[in-house]
Amino acid sequence: MLRLALTGGRGFLGWHVRVLARALGWSEPVLISGSDLLDAPTVAEQLDGVDRVLHLAGVNRGDARDVAAGNVELAAALGRALRLCAAPPGAVVFANSVQAGNGTPYGDAKAVAAATLAAARPDLLDVRLPNLYGEHGRPYYNSVVATFCRLLAEQRSPEVHEDRELSLVHVSDAAARLMGAPDGGPWDAAMPALRTGVRELADRLAGYADLYRGGEIPALTDRHAVRLFNTYRSHCFPASYPLSLTRRADLRGELVEAVKAHGGGQTFCSTSRPGVTRGEHFHLAKVERFCVLRGSAEIRLRRVGTDEVVRFPVGGDEPVVVDMPTMWAHNIVNTGPDELLTLFWTNEIFDPARPDTWTEPVELTAPEPAVVAA
């Protein structure tokens, strides 16, 4: 269990670091904001004795002068604080970029920032990250993946202005590398990259969206397929849920296709007595679907690191499905007077050695008014 301190901990990469720390059972990281960095003595106190400092804060977009100055000044401010630490951190890690030193204002500023930090900590771990993608990325800012996913979630079409090759790494893998996370989960600190063209990426995501609008699960043939699909789903939630199912009936009875997956997975059913809650965990990569077949229930979800709870009332009389977004704690509660019958589906067969199931309560405090999705 390591104690982390993060600059930029509330950003895209920072949130994924905090979620992975939660999954590993590490303590909540110390978060250092850009305004905090203006006060070097106070930051030095915050850094005293921590095991690992991750410098994630940076300026990616904007005026070229602001981008250049912002990245250098943030590193210089952290360097001043590090020099004042009474008990220096065990390690300092810089989330650098593969663009460092490439002649652009951003790339050259990242190179200067690395040198600035190395002057304060000669043992600096300088990790050069490629293009990152993943759940809850900011469209038009973090990556083209986030932009394409948001457009498709809004039922618009991505436009490809320049078709070039991309090297994409999932943000959880980058988080694991920066944190020095141990092996044994769905992350990979070696940061295996997906190499794809921009147009190929747009077509792939559009194919996922076309199938998913009808409730179908696309073929998830490799770990990047799973993570791209989860990234797309993060932009659909909660506005696109629950997904309606078609009920077919004849003289024999009724039929509902609860799961139509182009690639397999595992399906199981459970019964729950009145008042019983199942779940209270989150997944980092696993795709999981809930479908109530009989009875009434409420599905509750909360994005890890936040307080707001999203609720979906569901019942067997009008079958719908809700797919759990990754990195959202979730449960299902039998709210009716009778036994609840629920079908569950996951995209992978359960492996007790690598369950990708991390305990986390949905309700952090006494229940309060929450978002109720229609």
pLDDT of 276 over the 90 cut:
yes
DSSP state of 124: -
Residue type at 264 in one-letter notation = G
Q: Is residue 194 part of a domain?
A: yes
Fill in the DSSP letter of residue 261: B
Residue 178 and residue 88 in one domain: yes
Do 41 and 187 reside in the same domain of the chain? yes
CATH, residue 289: 2.60.120.10
Q: Band of the pLDDT at 369, cuts 50, 70, 90? A: very low
Please give the pLDDT value at position 372. Answer: 46
For residue 368, is it within any domain? no
d(CA 37, CA 35): 5
**Structural domain that includes position 344:** 247-359
Percent of residues, the chain, with pLDDT higher than 90? 85
Tokens of 136: 């809850």
Residue 211 lies in a domain: yes
Report residue 335 as tokens.
């709210």
Last residue of a domain, one of 177, 202, 236: 236
On the question of pLDDT at 374 being above 60, the answer is no
Domain membership of residue 297 (yes or no) is yes
Q: How many domains does the chain have?
A: 2
Residue with more model confidence, 102 or 59: 102
Q: Are residues 84 and 118 located together in one domain of the fold?
A: yes
- Give, for 201, the enclosing helix (H) or strand (E): helix 198-212
Confidence of residue 366 (pLDDT cuts 50, 70, 90): low
- 3-state DSSP assignment of residue 320: strand
- Average pLDDT estimate for 285-304: 97
163 and 73 inside one domain: yes
Residue count of the chain, please give it: 374
- What is the pLDDT confidence band of residue 235, given thresholds at 50, 70 and 90? very high
Q: Domain for residue 364, yes or no? A: no
pLDDT in tens, 108-151: 999 999 999 999 999 999 999 999 999 999 999 889 999 999 99
pLDDT tens-digit series, residues 20-75: 999 999 999 999 998 899 999 999 999 999 999 999 998 887 788 888 888 999 99
Please indicate, yes or no, whether residues 299 and 172 belong to a single structural domain of this protein.
Answer: no
Residues 301, 156 share a domain: no
- 69 domain residue, yes or no: yes
Q: Is the pLDDT of residue 87 over 90?
A: yes
* Residue where one domain finishes, among candidates 207, 236, 265: 236
Q: Is 207 found in the same domain as 316?
A: no
- The pTM is what? 0.92
* Of the candidates 14, 5, 31, the residue with the CA atom closest to the CA atom of residue 88: 5
Mean pLDDT of 311-316: 97
Does 224 reside within a domain? Answer: yes
Q: State the average pLDDT over residues 337-360.
A: 94
Same domain, 291 and 311: yes
Any domain includes 366: no
Q: Are residues 95 and 47 in the same domain?
A: yes
